[in-house]
Structure 1
Amino acid sequence: MTTTAPAPPRRRGPSPAAWSVTALVVVAHVLAWRGTDMSPAALATGWRGMADFLGDALPPDLDWDTVLGPSLRAAGVTFAIGLLGTSLSVPFALALAVLASRTTTYGPAAYQVSRSVLSFLRSVPDVVFALIFVTAVGLGPFAGVLALVLHNIGVMGKLWAEAMEESDPGPRDALRVLGASRVQTVAHAVLPTVFPQLVGLLLYRLDVNVRSSLVLGLVGAGGIGFLINQSIKLFRFDQMATHILVVLVLVVAVDQVSDRVRRRLA
């Protein structure tokens, strides 16, 4: 008895919804291209300006007393701003993350309020916070630290809340069945489960905040960003190149250390 092989299933084309999404993406990119005045021709004709800029920046000025020494000291300040802006935000971000996670919140009201606070702190750029604090405490690194603390609470609180929502429900449910309180459940079930993720996100934010502290220096928050801004205003692009090289070394060093810590926690 012979049996006929079943016919291969027909390949279906893209659904109308997929075509609609594709068309929407294309239209959005066309509008974005026009709205940002993208012009490859202008970039091609502006090569002389870029060549002149690189000619003024190279070779970098490596004089220790006037450029390299102050640059390294300012890089240390920049790292300190990023470090304190990250570490000082941890307790506030953790408290808001617990309230903003559906698995650990204390009710709908606490969830909505904490989510709103995190959204506000996250939506205000750290540069805006820095400008506000500069008017309050004056120019210097302190304003940069305060700006990063507030902005980092919003970003890190949201990331931590999402990590808690994705935690394994087994230990959490087991403690609740045994009559553990909400605080005990969070401390002994949720946080130990997601601890590696929380530390990984914290190290990621440290990397981001070190780079952000560079930008904050451009608005008067101290650090090596202030030296870069000063060298640009004085048209000392060779000094600017030195500061950028120091920033590159700093960012690579922070990234390498963070990567090693994340690997050990994995």
Structure 2
Amino acid sequence: MSALVDERTPERMPVPRKRRGPRAIGMAAGITAVLVALHVAAWRGAEMDLGMLAEGWHGMVRFVSEAIPPDLTWDPVVKDGLDACLVTLWIGLLGTTLSIPFTIVLCVLGTRATNGNAAVYQVARGIMSFLRAVPDVVFALVFVTAVGLGPFAGVLALICNNTGVMGKLWSEAMEEVDDGPAQALRIAGAGRTQLIAHAVLPACLPQLVGLVLYRLDVNVRSSLVLGLVGAGGIGFLINQSIQEFRFDQMLTYILMVLVLVVIVDLLSSFVRRRLAP
């Protein structure tokens, strides 16, 4: 019986090792040398000094000792912090949703699957690259000088930056769509708008919605940073508490931000799971 089993059991053959030639070994060594050189240059350029970090440990200990325990006074610390967290959430929400119309226009014009004009395609891609390259903090500083301090400047900054980032993500998703349904509609005489509405968008709609939820999560965190430059929200209170050396209040606001980010992340994950096929 055992002999029968042995005869029917296929013999495992050893997998031959892939031999690397001198050219492959030389290329790997060259890439490793370049990476090491880049990291050495970056280390020096960033003025990395572990000795300074070791010498400054007492400053960090003093900072932590002054921050713990957090100030949990209801009025004005916790109450103002909760109100500011809501403002931060509203900034991230509006910065995401209000950028969707501009994103649709740019990604439709900047996608080869939906736009055959090379000049318009390059212009749209250039606008997306510009909006994506300029940090949202820079946009916030510009809008603060235009509309003053407050969350309105933060919303405008997120709209600009998120349009560039989400336009790039959406355009890549639309270019990866199967061209079969679009070709069938094109043969049937459908126009460009019909191709977009009935072939391209339905095929990638779940992915586009998932990207919107991902950007909402990111924008809520970004709105915290925008508050540091006067765009309102919980970031403004954190900056104010640091300037006043009230590190216990700062820790309270940071804990509130942590709870807010976790809640937004859980809600986004829940919606993404419901939308998954």
TM bucket, shorter chain: over 0.9
Distance in 2 of aligned mates of 1:21 and 1:251: 39
| Correspondence for 2:248 | 238
Q: CA–CA distance in 1 between the matches of 2:82 and 2:29?
A: 54
TM-superposed CA distance for 1:58, in Å, is: 0.4
**Match for 1:243: what amino acid?**
Y
Match of 1:11 in 2: 19
- Pick the aligned partner of 2:105 from 77, 95, 99: 95
Matching residue within 183, 200, 205 for 1:195? 205
**Mapped pair 1:53 → 2:84:** no
Superposition deviation, residue 17 in structure 1:
3.3
Q: What does 1:30-179 align with in structure 2 at a 5 Å threshold? A: 30-179=40-189
Whole-Å Cα distance in 1 between the matches of residues 188 and 142 of structure 2?
Answer: 49
CA RMSD of aligned residues (A): 1.5
Aligned-pair CA distance for 1:169: 1.4
In the alignment, the residues of structure 2 paired with residue 9 and residue 241 of structure 1 have an alpha-carbon distance, to the nearest angstrom, of 55
Identity between Structure 1 and Structure 2 (%): 66
3-state SS of the aligned residue for 1:220?
coil
Q: Tell me the CA shift for residue 247 of structure 1.
A: 0.3
Instruction: List, as ranges, runs of 4+ consecutive aligned residues in structure 1 with deviation greater than 6 Å.
Output: none
- How far off is 1:11 after superposition? 1.1
Q: Residues 121-172 of structure 1, C-alpha deviation per residue, up to 9 Å, x if partnerless?
A: 1111111111111111111000000010011100000000000011111211
Alpha-carbon separation, structure 1, partners of 2:157 and 2:117 = 30
Counterpart of 1:239, as a letter, is: Q
- The count of aligned residue pairs is 261
Residue 222 (structure 2) pairs with residue 218 (structure 1): no
Distance, in Å, in 2 between the alignment partners of 1:141 and 1:9 is 61
Query: What TM-score does the superposition give when structure 2 sets the normalisation length?
Result: 0.91
How far apart, in 1, do the equivalents of 2:214 and 2:178 lie?
Answer: 23
Counterpart code for 1:172: A
Quote the Cα distance in structure 2 between the aligned partners of 1:22 and 1:199.
Answer: 40
Q: CA deviation at 1:101?
A: 1.0
Question: Aligned residue for 2:261?
Answer: 251
Structure 1 CA distance for aligned equivalents of residues 31 and 275 of structure 2: 40
Q: CA deviation at 1:245?
A: 0.3
The aligned residue for residue 21 of structure 1 is 31
Distance 1:85 1:223 in 2: 13
Task: Return closer, same or farther for 1:76/1:166 CA change in 2, 3 Å cut-off.
Answer: same
- TM-score of the superposed pair, with normalisation by structure 1: 0.95
Per the TM alignment, residue 106 of structure 1 is displaced from its structure 2 partner at its CA by 3.6
Taking the aligned partners of 1:10 and 1:135, their CA distance within structure 2 comes to 62
Paired letter, 2:217? D
State the distance in 1 between where 2:161 and 2:139 align: 8
Partner AA of 1:119 in structure 2: S
For residues 5-36 of structure 1, give each alpha carbon's deviation from its aligned partner in whole angstroms, at most 9, with x where no partner exists.
Answer: 9xx57611534433332222221111111111
Could you list the runs of 5+ residues in structure 2 that have no partner in the other structure?
A: 1-12
Deviations 1:54-107 (A, max 9, x none): 000000000001100100000000000000000000010011001111111141
One-letter amino acid matched to 2:20: R
Counterpart amino acid of 2:262? V
For residue 207 of structure 1, report the CA deviation from its aligned partner: 0.6
Structure 2 Cα separation of the partners of residues 142 and 10 of structure 1: 60
Partner in structure 2 of residue 186 of structure 1 = 196
- For 1:108 and 1:79, the matched residues in 2 are separated by 39
Bigger CA radius of gyration: 2
Structure 1 gaps, min length 5? none
